[in-house]
Chains A and B, each alone.
Chain A
Amino acid sequence: GAVVSQHPSWVICKSGTSVKIECRSLDFQATTMFWYRQFPKQSLMLMATSNEGSKATYEQGVEKDKFLINHASLTLSTLTVTSAHPEDSSFYICSAREGEAYNEQFFGPGTRLTVL
């Protein structure tokens, strides 16, 4: 099946620093990639949707200047959390989809971010 990788798996950083998370589709071309955030015991919250080569579409309430998304190629998207604060600590998960919207999304393993 399709594989999506995420790097790093976990990261601890100091408040005020920036963190970059990579999401790669390993064996298919991800025309669309999604970034989610999940707080403990809560459901997935979609942060943004990105199509290769175009700007990401952010969900309401998500600051695009704080969460920078780059979908530079059909196999790579990055999420940069700028000037991270403790309230940004969460589980960040990317997913990727090839082609039509009714195709399933393949999820990466997630990145656990802890901001001290």
Chain B
Amino acid sequence: GQNIDQPTEMTATEGAIVQINCTYQTSGFNGLFWYQQHAGEAPTFLSYNVLDGLEEKGRFSSFLSRSKGYSYLLLKELQMKDSASYLCAVLDSNYQLIWGAGTKLIIKP
């Protein structure tokens, strides 16, 4: 079966750095997405990785290793507004998006 694993919840301090991991086992791979979702709101796109390596976009970076079935989202200089759920999703061989359960990130002052 297809499976995406990410931690249920993480806590970090304002101004610090946090890394949210995502591992996946899917039938084929056509890319991995990270989305941010604030409580009661719809998800917003953060990043898309299809090749191995690190993609940096401001305070957020996303890393992919296809051989390890692994990705992480790195958030730097954390702000209180970064408190949200972070969803990892993989596009499988049928181009269907498989969603992880999400990681709830709590930022403390």
Complex A-B: 30 CB contacts under 8 Å:
A34-B97, A42-B101, A43-B99, A43-B100, A43-B101, A44-B43, A44-B87, A44-B99, A49-B96, A91-B40, A93-B43, A95-B42, A101-B30, A101-B95, A102-B30, A102-B48, A102-B91, A104-B33, A104-B45, A104-B48, A105-B45, A107-B35, A107-B42, A107-B43, A107-B44, A108-B42, A109-B41, A109-B42, A110-B40, A110-B42
Is there an interface contact between A110 and B41, defined as CB atoms closer than 8 Å? yes
Q: What 6 A-B pairs come out closest when comparing CB atoms?
A: A101-B95, A107-B42, A43-B101, A104-B45, A110-B42, A43-B102
Residues of A within 8 A of B (CB): 34, 42-44, 46, 49, 91, 93, 95, 101-102, 104-110, 112
Residues of B within 8 A of A (CB): 30-31, 33, 35, 40-45, 48, 50, 87, 91, 95-97, 99-102
